[in-house]
Structures are given as C-alpha cells and as structure tokens.
Amino acid sequence: MKLVHLITGLGCGGAEKMVYQLCKYADREGFDISVISINETDYFLPKLESLHINVNMLKLQKTPFSIFKGILKLNKLLRKNQIEVIHAHLFHGMVMACVAKVFNKKIKIVWSSHSSRMCSLLRSGITFLFKPLRSHDIILQKQFNEWYILKKNVVIPNGIEEPKLIKKLLKFPNFTFISVGSLEKHKNHLLLINLFADLNDVDANLIIVGTGSIFSSLQTKIFELGLAQKIKLLGHRDDIFELLCKSHCLLFPSIREGFGLVLLESAFAKIPIITLRNGSVENLLSEEEGYVVESDVFKDTMLHVIDNYDEALAKMNNFYKKTIREFTIQTCIKSHESIYKVINN
C-alpha cells in the first residue's frame, strides 16, 4: 500500500515524533511509506532519511501564492507516487489533504489531530465541513470526540518506544525540574519562569528543552527576573531521555495537549510528574500516578515534591507500570496499520 504521512512540519514536537515512530516501526513489506512536510522545519528530517524514508518539503509560506503553489506541488507528488492513503497530521495537514482529494478522488484520508480540541471556532468549522472528504479520524482519548469529528473514529493512544538500556545516570547535584516541549504560548512555560521568581530561596533549578516562536521572549524574561543561574533554556537536544533521567521531576504546564509523549518518556526515566490540569492529562495520570493540579497550587506542589520525594517516586512507579502495560509503540503501530487496511479495501 502506498501511504504518505502529511504533516504541518518536522519540528521537535509530539506529533512529529509520532510520525517518525510510525515510519520507524512500520511494516515495510506491507506499506510503501513516504512523508510530506508543509513547512520547512526539519528537526526530524535527518532521522527519517536515516530510515530511508522519502521526504518532500513543500516549504509553504503564509502567502496566497505560496499556498497555491504548494497545493499544485502536493498534487503532483501524490500522482507521481500513486498514493493510495494519506495519513494527515494536525490541522493544516488535514486541510491540505482534503483539498488534494478534490483532485484525487480515489485517495483515502485518515486524520490525527494530535490535540484535545481546536484552538478556534473557525478551525472547528473547517474541520466539520471537510468531514465528507475524510475516511477515518483517529483520536487520542475517547473524550476528544467532538462535534467536528467523524462518526468513523477510533481511539488510538500514542505509544512510546522503550529506551535502550543505559547505565544508571547520576542525578544533577541540585534538585532539578525539567520541562520538555515546543516553546509556544499554549505550552505555558512562562508560568514556570514566574513561579521560579518566587523560589529564590529554594535550592532548585529548572531546565527547559525545546525551541519555538517564544524562545527569545522567554530568554529575555529569565534575564529580567535575574534567574539566569537557576533556569536554562537548552533548545533542541538529542539526549532528552538522558536529561530526564538526570533530573528529579518533570513539569508539564501546557494549557492544552493531545496526549503528551514526554509523560510516557518520563515514566521510563522514572521521574515524578507535576502537570497542569488541562482535560487530557488528567485522564492519563491518576492521583496515584502523579500530580495533576491547578495553576494556583503549582508552586506549592513543586515544594511538596521536593520535601516528599519518596511519595512522588511511589506515584511514578505506578505510572511506569501502566505505561509498560498500555502504551507500547508496537500496539500503537499495529492499530494504525489496521485502520489503513480497512479504509483501503
């Protein structure tokens, strides 16, 4: 089956990592897989190329001419490669896929939003109007089944590959919180920086891994508050799992989230999790497995974890057991591939 993953970009994010894993663990005898990226972010490009996956970058800009040119290029690629199924990821991937289907009626479209909800009523309306062009929608949790989602939807939680065995790493000397994710407003890293301004008398540090549109503004805020010695922005890193292992606690302040692969990665690193209550993570993480809290008690929870670390580790051990049981990458991949086969029959 000729299958293409069409995604907004190949930056360092959960949806992008899921595309990488769908390629890495795919049944290459049953599926001829390629990837098309709409913009030019390319963090996962060399990783995909190392798998011998054909990747095309449309490099669209936010101009009418660039979008029109991108649609023509996409249509040409689909026909040249005789694509049978498009797995569209994120909102813009879905829109591009549906527009392409108008000119390629036999193509089937599977869509994964990778989010708990649309960020605007306009996007929700567009998604609803394009329902007739899609064959199947994939949602990460059953409560994400909104009015704009197809009735033909299936719940497939994200899976994670178990890290290769590494030697036990020593923790950072000071108690270290870590946050991993793209640096965008909805990820809410500014909350953490402001909280640390009130923790000057606490012997704890924060490292933030990731990059994005607000990197510079976050860096400026850190310097303005005099926190350069306590908070480090590390940008892109290829050693995220090692950093998790060396840290003491993951902070996950995202306002909205589809699933949060880093939560599962933290389970394998066996570090406790404090997350903002956002509708999706509270269905993943119970009170016995981590700390799901409101923003007004986030700081107090951080202090509680420092002072009651054995309790926090016990919660994490429960979450680790659940991750091993329910969220393996092999189960996730098989579920996706069964959907491709169903819609293409």
Over range 189-212, report the average pLDDT.
92
How does pLDDT run across 98-154, given as a tens digit for each residue?
Answer: 999 999 999 999 999 988 778 789 999 999 999 999 999 999 888 888 999 999 999
Is it true that domain 175-326 has CATH number 3.40.190.10? Answer: no
Over range 156-173, report the average pLDDT.
81
Q: What is the pLDDT of residue 165?
A: 60
The fold for domain 2-159+328-344 equals Rossmann fold (3.40.50)
Do domains 2-159+328-344 and 175-326 share one topology? The answer is yes
328 or 223: which leads in pLDDT:
223
HSE, side-chain direction, 13 A CA sphere, residue 133:
21
313 or 164: which leads in pLDDT:
313
* Inter-CA distances, 266 with 140, 172, 258, 260, 269, Å: 19, 16, 17, 10, 5
Q: What is the pLDDT of residue 281?
A: 81
305 or 167: which leads in pLDDT:
305
Instruction: Give CA–CA dist 252/9, Å, rounded.
Output: 23
**Cβ contact 198:222 at 8 Å:** no
Which token pair is 24?
A: 């890495």
- What are the structural domain ranges in the chain? 2-159+328-344, 175-326
Exposure of 236 by Cβ count < 10 A (0-12 exposed, 13-18 middle, 19+ buried)? exposed
Mean pLDDT over each residue of the chain, to the nearest integer: 92
Instruction: Give CA–CA dist 35/20, Å, rounded.
Output: 9
Instruction: Give CA–CA dist 89/5, Å, rounded.
Output: 7
Over range 15-42, report the average pLDDT.
94
Q: What is the pLDDT of residue 181?
A: 87
Q: What is the pLDDT of residue 233?
A: 96
